[in-house]
A and B are shown apart, each in its own frame.
Chain A
Amino acid sequence: MFLNLSPWIDYQRRLRMMSIHTRLNYAGWGFLALIFCGFLMSVNFSNNLIFAMTFMLCGIALLGWWQTRINLQGLNPGNWRHQPAFAGQPVVYNMRLSNTDHRPKLALTVVADGKPQEGLIALGPASEAGLCIHRQSTKRGELEKAKAYLKGTFPLGIICARSPLPDLPASLVYPKPVGSRPLPETTNDAQAHQRNEAGSFTDMRRYSAGDPVSRIAWRVLARSDEVYVKEFDGAEGQPALWLSWDAVAGLGTEERLSQLCRWVLDAERQGREYGLDIPGVRIPPASGADHEKDCLSALALFGVQR
């Protein structure tokens, strides 16, 4: 390529992110009708006062349009953060929205996935606010990504300006954890070695991402400014469980997934090692937050085309 288009594409993307679209809302059409009424009246009666009023309303509408745009300018959205949810629960998205402008931004609404969120956001000059969006999940699987934008009609309420926010990312929706069956005691012979269980102290090593916070050697940190984690030899726990598709025989697919989800949560809470064996996915026994997440994801995505 002779031409490096990437800065241009980048610029276009930035423009699109910053672009503010305005249109008339219902009140705006009403206002327009008012202007039209005034115009007809003034022409019909050749009344200069009504002419003046009509033109004043025109001027106010024009400036209102501009002010409405300004009210959305200088907003700097961060990135969405979210946690997967269980089916039936809302997926919560969070974002920091900062106002880089010296004017306050008033009466903004977040519209996510076409639905305006409750409550109006007001941002002082050069300040930040947290946006929080609840998206209701209905069934397990993947909650698709969705468009989100900020909407504001301040000050006159006759013009609706919208400025795009980053898309709401897709989120996993785990099956609803229901089911009354007890944990199946089918083990794969091996005793679980619960590495994270505290036993006798063996070693100290540098912290790396993913280490449990509870293992951080706080004293060392206080002394040396370096983050170390303590390692233990673990403990001999209960035998590892196999949560398998066959163990939930006799139920429908979704019910099976729900029961397995319940078991995963129970097993994790009991601190046991467990493996998941469902058609197409086999996760060897382990425990911990990551493992739990892997299992739940596998359940969520069972049979789902990605």
Chain B
Amino acid sequence: MSVRAGMGTWVLVTLWMSAAPSLLHLPLWVPVVALLGTGLHYSADLAKAIWRKLATTLLLLFVVIGIWFSFDSWFSGDAILSFFISVVFLKWGESKSSRDYLLLVFAAVILAAVGALYWETLLSMLHMFAVVFLLVCSLIVIHQGDIETAGVTVAKRAAWLYFLALPVMVVLFLTFPRIPGPLWDLGVAFGLPVKALMEKGAGDHGKVRTIQPGGISRAKNDDGNILVAEFEGVVPFKSRLYWRGPVFWDFDGENWSLPENWDNRSRLLRHALRNKQKFDKELRWGREPVRYTLRVMPNGGRWLYGLEIPSTSAPEAFISQEYQLLHIRHLNKDEPKLQMQAFLDYGIGSSIGPDQKEKGLAWPEGTNPRLLAFGRVLEEKYSQPQQRIDEALKHLATGGYQFDETYMVEPGPDVYDRFFFDVRRGGADYLAGSMAMLMRAAGIPSRLVTGYRGGSIVALTNFVIVKQSHAHAWLEVWLDDKDWVRIEPKDVVLPPEKKPQEKVQKKTETPIVKVRSEQTQQETDKTKTAASASKNVPQETGWMLPDWTSLFGGLQKWVINYDPDRQVELLKGVGMKDTDWLDLLLWAGLGVSGLLAIYLLFWWLGNRREHDPVLAAYQSFCDVVARKGIARKHNECPRDYLSRLVAAHPEYASAAADITHRYISIRYGSNNDNASVAMLQRQVKRFISMV
């Protein structure tokens, strides 16, 4: 096998390795093209160049036809991936030079990265590392020149580099500041007009008047941006950000809807809390004020989605009777920018009129009978409304409910009955809607609030982007002593995979306090896990057999699910209280340079050991004599040096002569055994102490 063929083999293995997972799920013609491309490379001796060119062109044509038939769109992810793989293998078919090979292995890495987008599992992690290892092997083979080297030697060389690079990777992975994606959010946050980025039709969500159970989950599939908020100071916990939108009172058994005349501007303004006096009457108390700048994307309605609870108004905006922040015009084109203030913790509502109370208790005739019955039972059993709420939440927490945004309950009559008693699985608005109806059945006036919860923090700044995918629904109940109180059933029901039993127990407190206590709980949990994780490390390196499940669990947690939050949590574990991206960058730099320093140290120590002990001993002898004023010249042989020394310092004559003769006999004679080397060293030591 020639050197170049050996090089090619490594490159080919790298290519196939990187493409393998993608090939598994792409149409069958893609691996066929890849195989043919591979064969083309080895046909150089069989066919003329022109035929091979022709074959390449035909295959390319075949690829285009394949994409046309296999995929809906030219630019769908799979179509692009198929094209990319085909082109890479066809390029392999005609590649000859090292530069071609270099290009191909680089392409292979990109290919592996694209493959990782499809499935993010531990297996694909192993695949990724294998590809990178093969990349290193290929690079070494390409650049080691015309030396024929066994595959094992190449792999060994690559392994050295690879395993030294692993700790660097770990340090960077853990400490490099993470910018939450996607990247175009950055542009949006810093004032890029979002209209340009939004798809057509996405700007109509503000016109929605009715909402069907499950509607919010459907809306979540949309990736449109809703608003950008720039907070002054630290961004509050994302789970505490409720962006208030439409408030629904009317449920007809299948849909929630806003009243017909809801959008009437004069009606809205008449009831609005336009001046401070009016507002202060409503707001009984407010804590934790946050100030932020709000930029709302056109949505076709009046919605400004102010943070709960808005405490100031702004020009051209007002706070409605239902505490929403609304704009005086429909937002069709403009993106209003407002300075806002809100209280995250509040008590609001002064009174509830009899008509409102009636609306808040209304139950459409003959619908959802089981829910109604359950509510009645609660009402009879517990006298205090708060107790009924707690009991209902307890039911949600312990009743085996699963929060699953994507799950749809079949629409139709009695959908809440089916959700609440049979399916027990669904998104936020099933939970909130059925809970709202349950409260009504239990004699507590309630309403469904929709909007958004949370948001994504942009790249270590205090910008928060709220997207359609943050759509959420919750409910508010009227308690005579506490007024309107938000109830968040979602926090009681946890996603199926992480559902620690202890957390469920705690949901019997009052809802408002609940949110806070839960957060502190989560925090402590997090720090605990971080601390225990760091504690576990020395145990794992012991002689125990590794517990594979916990190892994989750990990998899952620390690799696949690693995110900015966990990063901060990790640094907290090492004693860093608050960290920003500059600290992280510093840590990353320190970590990497520390590692390199350690490597250098080992390398240096390794080099030192290489020194000849005989030379070292003689050199130290020479150094000592040099301090007496007689330095050995570069061209001076030991014997000449000795005679010069004896002439100047006759008192050292015998000792110096002994050392010199030993040195000469070891270096140039046959007297080269360990004993004589040790003797020389001893003599030199004696000489040094003598001088």
A residues adjacent to B (C-beta < 8 A): 27, 30-31, 34, 37-38, 40-53, 55-60, 62-64, 66-67, 70, 102, 106-107, 120, 122, 153-158
> Does B646 touch A at the CB level, under 8 Å?
no
- What sequence of 0s and 1s flags, for each residue 516-554 of chain B, a beta carbon within 8 Å of any chain A beta carbon? 000000000000000000000000000000000000000
Whether the pair A34, B559 counts as a contact (CB closer than 8 A) is no
Whether the pair A56, B145 counts as a contact (CB closer than 8 A) is no
- In the docked arrangement, what's the CA distance between A60 and B182, Å? 27
In B139-195, the 8 Å CB interface with A consists of 139-140, 142-147, 157, 161-162, 164-169, 172-173, 176, 178-183
Which of B107-115, B217-225, B341-349, B469-477 interfaces with chain A?
A: B107-115
Chain B at the A interface: SS class: helix
Minimum distance in angstroms from A31 CB to a CB of chain B: 7
Whether the pair B596, A44 counts as a contact (CB closer than 8 A) is no
Whether the pair B120, A60 counts as a contact (CB closer than 8 A) is no
Whether the pair A60, B136 counts as a contact (CB closer than 8 A) is yes
Question: In the complex, what residues of B have CB within 8 A of residue A41's CB?
Answer: 113-114, 117
Whether the pair B144, A154 counts as a contact (CB closer than 8 A) is yes
Whether the pair B172, A34 counts as a contact (CB closer than 8 A) is no
Question: In the complex, what residues of B have CB within 8 A of residue A62's CB?
Answer: 165, 168, 592, 596
- In the docked arrangement, what's the CA distance between A48 and B571, Å? 18
- In the docked arrangement, what's the CA distance between A34 and B104, Å? 12
Whether the pair A56, B166 counts as a contact (CB closer than 8 A) is yes
How extensive is the interface on chain B, given as a class? 35 or more
Given A62-B596, A102-B610, A47 and B132 touching (CB < 8 A)?
no
Which residue on chain A has the smallest CB distance to residue B560? A48
Which residue on chain B has the smallest CB distance to residue A41? B113
Question: In the complex, what residues of B have CB within 8 A of residue A156's CB?
Answer: 136, 139-140, 143, 161
Minimum distance in angstroms from A11 CB to a CB of chain B: 14
| The 8 nearest A-B residue pairs measured at CB | A59-B168, A59-B165, A157-B143, A120-B145, A107-B145, A55-B172, A49-B116, A56-B169
Q: Which of A42, A55, A56, A102 has the most chain B CB within a 10 Å cutoff?
A: A56
Whether the pair A106, B166 counts as a contact (CB closer than 8 A) is no
Which residue on chain A has the smallest CB distance to residue B603? A70
The one of A31, A44, A47, A60 in contact with B106, judged by C-beta atoms closer than 8 angstroms, is: A31
Question: In the complex, what residues of A have CB within 8 A of residue B132's CB?
Answer: 53, 56-57, 60
> Does B125 touch A at the CB level, under 8 Å?
yes
- What sequence of 0s and 1s flags, for each residue 54-81 of chain B, a beta carbon within 8 Å of any chain A beta carbon? 0000000000000000000000000000
> Does B102 touch A at the CB level, under 8 Å?
yes
Question: In the complex, what residues of B have CB within 8 A of residue A53's CB?
Answer: 109, 112-113, 116, 128, 131-132
Whether the pair A58, B169 counts as a contact (CB closer than 8 A) is yes
Whether the pair A67, B161 counts as a contact (CB closer than 8 A) is yes
Whether the pair B173, A52 counts as a contact (CB closer than 8 A) is yes
Given A46-B563, A49-B120, A59 and B146 touching (CB < 8 A)?
no
- In the docked arrangement, what's the CA distance between A90 and B157, Å? 39
> Does B124 touch A at the CB level, under 8 Å?
yes
> Does B599 touch A at the CB level, under 8 Å?
yes
Question: In the complex, what residues of B have CB within 8 A of residue A56's CB?
Answer: 129, 132, 165-166, 169
Given A60-B161, A120-B146, A157-B142, A44 and B169 touching (CB < 8 A)?
no
Whether the pair B109, A106 counts as a contact (CB closer than 8 A) is no
Question: In the complex, what residues of B have CB within 8 A of residue A30's CB?
Answer: 102-103, 106
Whether the pair B144, A106 counts as a contact (CB closer than 8 A) is yes
- In the docked arrangement, what's the CA distance between A49 and B113, Å? 8
Which residue on chain B has the smallest CB distance to residue A57? B132
Minimum distance in angstroms from B555 CB to a CB of chain A: 11
Whether the pair A27, B183 counts as a contact (CB closer than 8 A) is no
Whether the pair B143, A153 counts as a contact (CB closer than 8 A) is yes
- In the docked arrangement, what's the CA distance between A41 and B128, Å? 14
Question: In the complex, what residues of B have CB within 8 A of residue A51's CB?
Answer: 173, 176, 178, 562
Question: In the complex, what residues of B have CB within 8 A of residue A66's CB?
Answer: 596, 599
Question: In the complex, what residues of A have CB within 8 A of residue B106's CB?
Answer: 30-31, 34
Other A-B contacts than A52-B129, A62-B165, 8 sampled, CB-CB below 8 A, are A38-B113, A48-B559, A49-B560, A51-B562, A56-B165, A58-B169, A60-B165, A66-B599
Question: In the complex, what residues of A have CB within 8 A of residue B563's CB?
Answer: 46, 48
Question: In the complex, what residues of B have CB within 8 A of residue A27's CB?
Answer: 102
Whether the pair B143, A154 counts as a contact (CB closer than 8 A) is yes
Whether the pair B142, A40 counts as a contact (CB closer than 8 A) is no
